[in-house]
Structure 1
Amino acid sequence: MAAAGSSPLTTHVLNTGDGVPAARLALSLHRLDSSLMVWNMLSVGTTNNDGRCPGLISQEALIPGTYKLRFETGSYWAGLGQTSFYPYVEVVFSISDPDQRFHLPLLMSRFSYSTYRGS
């Protein structure tokens, strides 16, 4: 992983059902190899107590392409002693200008989720 705070791609996961950050949620970042049509894992991490996962990717490694953030939501809810409809959430997105900063929040409850491109 890249050094904390230096990633041009950030995320913030919120447990909207309980109104708290989703701490200790495992996630992974992947990039699509369009010639082989396979996903290559770039990094793995776990959200901190604030629901953030710093250091996902370095500026040098961020190139134009199709990316995926996979959030292990089922394991998160199981860790809270609860069940969830979604065992995981995958958010696929495109980056055309890697000189920009990208923020991808995930708002989730046990039975729903939404995301958007933040700033």
Structure 2
Amino acid sequence: MGKLTTHVLDTAHGRPGANIKIELFALNGDVRRAIKTTVTNDDGRCNAPLLEGAEFETGEYELVFHAGDYFATLGANVPEPRFVDRVVLRFGIADTASHYHVPLLVSPWSYSTYRGS
């Protein structure tokens, strides 16, 4: 069985993004169903996969990373409203036998992602 994982890297400070709130939603058209809310550990990862086993189904999903709150707790000097606040990533899972890893590289001014391994 496959699984869904993530990893947040703070590119502004060159370290893992620790204690970042992450929300996971399943999408059905315009309808969002909350699945899980978690927080990254000191390594910028979650302590367990976001989805695995019977919960890991094909479909469209959305991850919401509360990056702006993270940078605010670090005392980053950013204007209000924040340029990067909540990072929303929509993606699809097509193969339940695969590992889907969705890393986020983030700063107060930019972010990027890719399908990792």
Give the TM-score normalised by structure 1: 0.88
Q: Deviations over 1:28-66 (max 9, x none)?
A: 1111023xx211110010000000012312321111100
Q: Deviations over 1:82-119 (max 9, x none)?
A: 23411100110011111111100000111000000000
Contact preservation (8 Å) 1:9, 1:101: yes
Tell me which residue corresponds to 2:23.
Answer: 28
Pairing partner for 1:79 from 69, 73, 76: 73
Pairwise CA distance, 1:7? 7.5
Gaps of 5+ in 2: none
Contact preservation (8 Å) 1:7, 1:55: no
Gaps of 5+ in 1: 1-5
Deviates more, 1:83-92 or 1:15-24: 83-92
Tell me which residue corresponds to 1:103.
Answer: 101
Q: Which amino acid aligns with 1:8?
A: K
Sequence identity of aligned pairs in percent?
Answer: 42
Tell me which residue corresponds to 1:3.
Answer: none
Contact preservation (8 Å) 1:12, 1:106: yes
Q: Which amino acid aligns with 1:38?
A: V
Runs of at least 4 residues off by over 6 Å: none
Q: Deviations over 1:61-80 (max 9, x none)?
A: 11110001100011101111
Tell me which residue corresponds to 2:40.
Answer: 47
Which structure has more strand as a fraction of its residues?
Answer: 2
What CA distance in whole angstroms lies between the structure 1 residues aligned with 2:18 and 2:102?
Answer: 16
Label 1:118 to 1:61 Cα distance change in 2 as closer, same or farther (>3 A). same
What CA distance in whole angstroms lies between the structure 1 residues aligned with 2:52 and 2:102?
Answer: 16
RMSD: 1.5
Aligned length: 112
What CA distance in whole angstroms lies between the structure 2 residues aligned with 1:7 and 1:89?
Answer: 24
